Each structure stands twice: as C-alpha cells, then as structure tokens.
Amino acid sequence: MTEGFYRRLEANNVDYDIIGLSYYPMWHNTIEYLGTTLDKLATLYPSKPVMIVEAAYYYEHDGVNRGEEDFTLCKPGTVEGQRQFTAELVAELKRHSNVTGLFWWFPEENSFGTPFQGRGGLNRGLFNSRNGNALPALYEMSRFVK
C-alpha cells in the first residue's frame, strides 16, 4: 500500500521532500513489517528521508487486553508494554539510515478529567493521567538520536 501511494505521486510528478509515515501496531502490523517497508522505501526512493510522523501505543486501555482492537501483534496495554513497544520501535528505526525523525502522536493525550479516567480510556500519551509524570516510553523516545 505504501509503495503504491508513492508510485502514484511519482507518476503524477508530485514534488515532496520527505516520506512521512504513521505507525500504530494495532492497525499497521508488526514492527518487523514496518522494517520491511522502510527497506523497500530506501531502495525505491534513496534520496527521500523518511520520518515516522505519528506513532503511539497505549499505556492503559481496557480494549488492549479485551481484544477490542487488533492487539494480537502488540504488547500489553500497560506502562511496561508501552515502554517495550517504544524501545523496539526505536531500535528498528535506528537500523534504517533513511529514517531521520520520530514523532509521538499527541504525547499529552490521556483521560485525565474525563469519564474514562481510571477506567483505561484513551491513554496513549507519554504522561501518566493520574499525576502527570513522564512515563518510561518518553525516555525510550530519547534514544532515537540520529
């Protein structure tokens, strides 16, 4: 799918500087699959840097552990699961010289002050919804330095 999109841009002479990808394991397959996609993009478009312009993973969400989304390829929806996901993502991205950026989608996202608070709502941010403290995944993100 990614390859087809960029082939259409090329066929229509669309000028762009960077390949920007979203990556969420619950919707976009495994980290290894992402690695294969990055390899293919490096071969097809060697002059185009790639950035993961949005990525995130739950540190708390009932659906992760109840199977409401496709989390069969993912870590548990826990603080440690989010940290593990982020560490693996960073390690994979560092293997690819064409990847120049990594951005977390909505790092302050959490269910603080909503009916979901404490029930595992949309808690994919990098700060705990109960006390605002940075989560371990934030420190894993800091390991992505090029």
The domain locations on the chain are 15-141
Distance CA 58, CA 87 (A): 14
Proportion of the chain in helix, strand, coil states, percent, rounded to 5: 40, 15, 50
pLDDT tens-place string over residues 79-96: 898 999 999 999 999 999
- Give the class (CATH, top level) of 15-141: alpha beta
Mean pLDDT, rounded, of the chain: 86
Handedness of CA 93, 55, 45, 30 (dihedral sign): positive
pLDDT tens-place string over residues 46-73: 999 999 999 999 887 655 555 555 556 6
